[in-house]
Amino acid sequence: MTQAIIMDVDTGIDDSLALLYLLASPEAEILAITCTSGNVPAKQVAINNLAWLELCGSPDIEVALGSEVPVLAPLMTTEETHGPQGIGYAELPAPTRTVSARHATEVWIELARSRPGEIVGLVTGPLTNLALALRIEPELPRLLKRLVVMGGAFNHAGNTLPTTEWNIAVDPESAKMVFDAFSGLPADRRPIICALDVTEQIEMKPEHIAEIGRRAGSTPDEIIAEADVDGTLSTASNSVVRYLTDAVRFYMEFHIAHNQGFLAHMHDPFAAAMALHPELGTTRAATVDVELAGSLTRGQTVADWAGMWGREPNADIVVAVDPPRFFDHLVERVSEFARRVG
């Protein structure tokens, strides 16, 4: 049995691996990929998605351009984290097709209306497109089977401001609109939130990439090393392994430069896995709201764990994860897929 998914992304190195994971998963039916500005501008996000799809032999999946700016805040992008094109050092072949004639908001609404109760929405970038779609179709929370969001920080430091995670910080107003709109749903329809509390436990190491290459049958047997000259490019014979290695190397160099170790936090692949296999994480219900006015805390996600606001929970927050189990699953899926693609 397959799970229909709409991906809303700001691709993005970890978004790229999330896409590879879903393409590799036979139980995933990617209906469309909608693009928003975040890691890089939305038009570059669309190019990245089109390029990955063509490389992976999946050129028929719809890619729709969405909002190029947040609903209120000035646009922030983070090329220093993800590279000038958003995919690190990888230089993917230019795609031969263009984006859909439909806007991302149309995609969200029309697909959800056409398959009520069947689709999981997966958002791994700012929530702008979904918020705009909710303005047009406020029934979206009841039309979707579930929503999975990578975003927020609760009992954890932020990665953009001291208490604020990137995807929420880019467009706090949209995040608040989404959390408000998804209030009042049955427990099995509450959004699953993958925040920094767990996603920063998802530490991809050079050994993980090397193992993907080995299992894919790629040569030579290479491993990203901290001692390498920055920007050293992969010579892997397998195209998926080569471009993925070049992307992840950039991400690891960013992390070591910011005293986080020679690793890469793979936020978005974990969220993608939760969209298919929610048993990979332990969740706890809470009422979530977003701070919009704080001079030091704008964009902070606040969880009321104890019901002090007197409002019903509107989110299932992932509070525990088994990283080795997740990486075993991810490496197996992506390496088998890379072997098939070549």
For residues 209, 211, 215 and 217, what is the CA-based torsion angle, rounded to 10 degrees? Answer: 70
Reduced to 3 states, what is the DSSP secondary structure of residue 136?
Answer: helix
* DSSP class of 337: H
Which residues have CB under 8 Å from 293's CB, separation 6+? none
Expressed in percent and rounded to 5, the helix, strand and coil fractions of the chain are: 40, 15, 45
Q: Which of 300, 282, 298, 70 lies closest to 194 in space, CA to CA?
A: 282
**Catalytic residue list contains 267:** yes
As separate numbers, helices (DSSP H) first and strands (DSSP E) second, the chain gives 13, 11
DSSP string, 159-192: SSBTTB-HHHHH-HHHHHHHHHHTTT--GGGSPE
Catalytic residue among 103, 208, 267, 329: 267
List strand residue ranges (DSSP E) for the chain, in order: 3-9, 28-35, 62-65, 119-123, 146-150, 192-194, 203-204, 264-265, 281-290, 301-304, 315-321
Residue 238, token pair as written in the block: 């397998």
Q: From residue 193, give the alpha-carbon distance in Å to each of 224, 263, 297.
A: 31, 23, 19
What is the enclosing helix (H) or strand (E) of 129?
helix 128-136
Q: Which of 64, 57, 1 lies closest to 31 in space, CA to CA?
A: 64
Give the residue carrying structure tokens 């958003």.
86
Q: Which of 252, 248, 232 lies closest to 240 in space, CA to CA?
A: 248
Residue 120: CB atoms within 10 A of its CB come to 22
Residues involved in catalysis: 267
